[in-house]
Structure formats: structure tokens, C-alpha cells
Amino acid sequence: MEALHTLLPVIILLFAGVLAIAVTRPLRMSPIVGYLIAGMIIGTHGFGWIEEDNTTHLLAELGVVFLLFDIGLHFSLQHIWDARKDILGLGPLQIILCTAAFAVIAILMNLEVDIAIIIGVTLALSSTAVVAQILADQNQQHSPVAISSTAVLIFQDVCAIFLLILVHSMEDPTVALGSIIGHAALKALAAFVAAILIGHYLIGPLFKLIARLRDNEIFTAVALLIVLATAAATGVLGLSLTLGAFLAGMIISETPYRHLIQTEISPFRGLLLGFFFITVGMSLNTPIIIELWWKIIGVAILLMLIKISLIYASAKILKASTNGAFSMGILLAQGSEFAFVIFAMPALQTALGSEKASILITAVAGSMVLTPLSVALGNKISQYQADKNWEEETSPSKEAKNTEATVIIIGMSEVGQRIADGLNSFGISYKGIEYHHSCFVDASTKGYIVGFGDATDLRLMDTVKFSHADMIVVTFANYSIAKELAPIVKERYPNLSLLVSVKNKTEREQFLTLGMQAIIEQSFPRGLDTAAAVLRSHGVGNEQLKNWMQRQQENELDYLEANGLG
């Protein structure tokens, strides 16, 4: 009977989790919402089928541990370096502005300043899980909006780790806040350095040894051991288990075995994280939520509007395009998974009270529910704005803006966008030129620098200042047009390189006779070969180029696997 008593909560949690997924998936809602509702139904404030005990708390904490481990797997030092401008610029600016706004509101509601700041930072965070799913569904992981948003999420995840440490430490009221932050920062820095050294000198060689055994089960067991051991180690140091899990993920991300381990660990992560969200739902006061539903909806909408405005402002301050800044604001407007963790902690529960804590947690969940709808609406608005830009640029009375760029990309479909992604990654300026309306709107909505242009119009050369560029890249193979224009371009701009993307050797030979460098697209995904040729000609080293191409291929494979297309 004792064994049954221990197993019963796990069985109920499993049943609730399966049912939550079965209901939310057909509705294209985040499973997180289903988990929260399931927890409300089965918890003490619902039908009381399950009570919070050591078993449920352990499963919930393991769920957060595996969430942070998964985040760490995507947090390589190379990734940080590639996205350093957004991670160290847009990320901090967005956090500061949003924290200030939410903290002021909290202070006006008579909360203590330190509690108000914690609430402000918590609400400034966005949902990595929700944003990643939306980007994957739309296959936009490589667009400027996606790259900048992902960089912001990386910075937010780091902030969230320190926030968890801070709130956990606040449970001891005798220690000063400044002392808590200082000690936590020093310990975390030491742990970070130790993780890098351990990953390089111990974990890397260990996985090489295990790889010779060709046994995926051993990989899984070792990965689980590393996660739990690292989490326990940071716990002993007085830091949170989640920091250890994050560092474990970061250690493994620097090895060639990241994708294998991510695949092997994924079922554990999804299952345990589902348990965590269900236990959060169990803690919600259902009668209060039913009574104050209008307040919850109001808080969710206010949360999203404030974040859209301030993220847009942050992106514009850092010179993002109008469409790109708006799309980013919409994408990152929801609350974060970490809000459920932080608002459920005893220190915050005591400071906020049951009513306010329930309102905030449910409002954050509501913002997640609203995100797919708001993103769809935001895309419509961005496309409308792109349509207006198209009409302005194609108007006979409208003079196109002069543009100075190192590379001119003619044609901004998939291949053109891939080339632009590469140029963005290495800080090389470009200008996209597009003649087709649908491609123009698509590229503009995703945040690419694109203008209207007809490759057959000789006036285009002066409009976009070909003399300031060193290369023109044509992403479609139209020999008849190239035959007429290539000699004229060569005569007027003898130092300008002409490069074209082609499909086979026959096309390549045709364009070579015109003095154009022709690149046959053979690699996966499309556009990678041409992008590599452009980057190589602009001084990108072989090792850097190899790493960039590998990341592009891995990201595309991740998308195909996630959508059952691999």
C-alpha cells in the first residue's frame, strides 16, 4: 500500500499531462497552458485528486533542471560571440526598460522596492519555449528578427538564472540584498569558468571515448549523470540547481555530440517539465481566478502591450528596421516560464499574497495563449506596412533611396535570404533588391534590408550606388538578362565582382563566358554554397566559414526533425 501511495501522484500527473497534450495540440495552443489548466483541475483548489508532497516537488524541480539544461545546450561560446551585438546591446536595453516600467507599476501598488524590482525583471522575461516553437512553425530561425529575438532570449535566460539564485537567497531575511547579489555573482562566475575547463579537458575526451562504444544508451546515462551531478554541485555551493543544469548543458554544447544528447534527453525534459507546469497549476487558487478573470485578462493584455512598445523602442534605438522592430516586439511580448518558478517561490508568495500571485501567474499563462494570435496579427500588420513600402518604392514619382553597401543581393527569396544571413553573421553590409511583390513583402516582414529594383533597369546602378559596392550577387540564373547587362556593368564598374547562383554545370559554363563567377548550389540548405563563396571573398576564414555552415545545416535539420520532415 505504501508503494501505491507513492506511485499514485505520479500516475495522476502522467494522466493529466497526456490529456493536456491531447487537448491543446489540435487547438495549436502551447502545451504549457494545458498543463496549467490540468493542474488547476486535479489540485487542492480543484477536485483535490492529488496533494503537493515530496514526490511532486521533486518531479517539478527536475523539470526546471532539464529546462535549463536544454537552454544550456544552445548556449555555446561561439553562439554568444556571433550574437554579441544583440546579446550585449538589445538584450540589456530591453530588460532595463521593461523592468523599470513593471517595477514602477508594482511600487504604485504598495509593494516593497526590492520585491517590485524582482517582479519587474520577471515580467521582462519572455518564453523561450513559446518563441522557439513559433519560429520553428514558421521556419524563420535564420531571419534577422529570429536571430535578434534568440539573442535577447539568451540574455534573458542568463538573467533568469541569477534571478532564481537571488530569490532563493532571499528566503534568509538576515542577509543584505547587496551581499546576496555579490556572493551569487562571484560563485556563478567561478562555476562558469569551472564548467568551461571541465568541458574542455574532461567531458570532451570522455564523450570521445564513449563514442567508440557506439552505444546511445551510454550517452544518455552519462548525460543524465552530468546534469544531475552538476546541479548537485552548484546546490552544495549555495547556488540553485538550475545554474548547475545550465552549466551542464553549456559544457556539452561545446562537444560534437550536442545533437545526439539533445535527442536522447528530450523525452525526459518534456515529461518532467510537464510535471512542473502541472504542479504550478495545482498551486493556483481557482476560486480567485474565476472571480477575478477580468483582472487577469486585463493584466495579460497590459503586459503584452507594454512589452511590445518597449521592445520596439529598444530595437529602434539600436537601428533595427521598423518592420523588424515591430515583429520582434510582438514575438517577445509574452511572459516567461520562469515567472511560474519565481512567483511560486515562498518568498514571493509571502510578499504578493495568494490573490496577486495567482493573478500574475495566470496572466503570464494568458499571454502565452495570446501569443500565436498576436504574432499572426503582427505579421498581417507588418505585411501591410511592407505593401505600403512597396507602393512607395514602385511609384513613378518616388525616387529610391541611395544606399551604400558592400554587397548588393539581387533577388531576396530563399537563396538571397541565406546570403544575407551570412553577411549579417559577420557584420558585412548588404542591400537586397527584389522585383517580385511576394518576395519583397516576405523579406521585409522578416527584417531584411530590401528595396524594390528591376535588374533589367540600368538606372538601378546609380540608385543603389554600385560604385560603393565590391560585389553583386544574383540569386537566380537568367542568362538572357545577364548577357545584356554584364558587359555594361563590367565597363562602368571594372572593380565590381559579379557572382551568380546556378543549378548545374551547363548554367555555370554559360555564365563563365560572361565573366561572372557562377556557384552551383549543391549543399543543404539552398543558398549555402553561394553564401559561402560571398563570405570567403570577403575575408571570412575557412574555420569560421565551416562553423557557420555547420550551424546553418544543424538549424535546418532541427527544424525538419521538429516538424517530422527529416
Q: Is residue 326 part of a domain?
A: yes
Percentage of residues of the chain with pLDDT beyond 70:
84
Domain shared by 245 and 377, yes or no: yes
Q: Is residue 526 part of a domain?
A: yes
Domain shared by 130 and 241, yes or no: yes
Percentage of residues of the chain with pLDDT beyond 90:
16
| More confidently predicted of 91 and 460 | 91
Query: What is the number of domains present in the chain?
Result: 2
Mean pLDDT in residue range 529-543: 92
| More confidently predicted of 470 and 99 | 99
The residue type of 356 is: K
**Cα dist. 218→215, 223, 264, 469, 518 in Å?**
6, 8, 10, 53, 47
We report the CATH number of the domain holding residue 494 as: 3.40.50.720
CA dist., res. 116 & res. 102, Å (int): 8
Phi, psi of 320 (to 5 degrees): -75, 160
The residue type of 42 is: I
Domain shared by 368 and 411, yes or no: no
Residue 560 confidence (pLDDT) above 70: no
Residue 362 confidence (pLDDT) above 90: no
8 A C-beta contact, residue 242 and residue 80: no
Could you tell me which of 486, 490, 470 has the C-alpha nearest to residue 478?
Answer: 486
Mean pLDDT in residue range 513-538: 90
Mean pLDDT in residue range 435-453: 84
From 351, 383, 415, give the residue that closes a domain: 383
Q: Is residue 457 part of a domain?
A: yes
| Digit-coded pLDDT (tens) for 195-222 | 777 777 787 788 778 777 776 677 778 8
Domain shared by 287 and 372, yes or no: yes
Domain shared by 166 and 264, yes or no: yes
Q: What share of the chain is helix, strand, coil (3-state, %, to 5)?
A: 70, 5, 25
Q: What is the pLDDT of residue 144?
A: 83
DSSP string, 164-228: HHHHHHTTSTTS-HHHHHHHHHHHHHHHHHHHHHHIIIIIHHHHHHHHTTT-HHHHHHHHHHHHH
| Digit-coded pLDDT (tens) for 465-511 | 666 788 999 998 888 888 878 888 888 888 888 999 998 888 998 89
In three-state form (DSSP H/G/I as H, E/B as E, the rest C), the secondary structure along 367-426 is: HHHHHHHHHHHHHHHHHHHHHHHHHHHHCCCCCCCCCCCCEEEECCCHHHHHHHHHHHHC
Q: Is residue 421 part of a domain?
A: yes
Q: What is the pLDDT of residue 329?
A: 93
Domain shared by 66 and 13, yes or no: yes
We report the CATH number of the domain holding residue 22 as: 1.20.1530.20
Residue 433 confidence (pLDDT) above 80: yes
CB-side neighbour CA atoms (13 Å) of 7: 4
Min mean pLDDT across 146-150, 156-160, 269-273, 389-393 is at: 389-393
Q: What is the pLDDT of residue 400?
A: 47
Domain shared by 374 and 413, yes or no: no
Residue 566 confidence (pLDDT) above 50: no
Domain shared by 487 and 530, yes or no: yes
Domain shared by 64 and 138, yes or no: yes
Q: Is residue 389 part of a domain?
A: no
Q: What is the pLDDT of residue 312?
A: 94
Domain shared by 345 and 453, yes or no: no
Which neighbouring-strand residues pair with 501?
519
Sheet holding 407-410, edge to edge: 450-452, 430-434, 407-410, 471-474, 497-502, 517-520
Mean pLDDT in residue range 372-376: 83
- 162: helix, coil or strand? helix
Domain shared by 446 and 542, yes or no: yes
Peptide bond into 525 cis (omega under 30): yes
Residue 32 confidence (pLDDT) above 50: yes
- Per-residue pLDDT band for 52 (boundaries 50, 70, 90) equals low
CA dist., res. 516 & res. 478, Å (int): 12
Domain that holds residue 26: 2-383
Q: Is residue 221 part of a domain?
A: yes
Min mean pLDDT across 275-279, 303-307, 501-505, 520-524 is at: 275-279
Mean pLDDT in residue range 27-38: 76
8 A C-beta contact, residue 33 and residue 39: no
| More confidently predicted of 491 and 517 | 517
Question: In the structure grid, which three cell numbers stand for residue 115, read together?
Answer: 520585491
Domain shared by 317 and 442, yes or no: no
Q: Is residue 394 part of a domain?
A: no
The residue type of 566 is: G
Q: What is the pLDDT of residue 307?
A: 96
Cα dihedral: 12, 16, 17, 19 (round 10): 140
CA dist., res. 64 & res. 62, Å (int): 5
Q: What is the pLDDT of residue 2?
A: 60
The residue type of 3 is: A
Q: Is residue 483 part of a domain?
A: yes
Could you tell me which of 7, 41, 36 has the C-alpha nearest to residue 21?
Answer: 36
| More confidently predicted of 414 and 98 | 98
DSSP string, 222-288: HHHHHHHHHHHHHHHTTS-HHHHHHHHHHHHHTSTTHHHHHHHHHHHHHHHHHHHHHHHHHHS-HHH
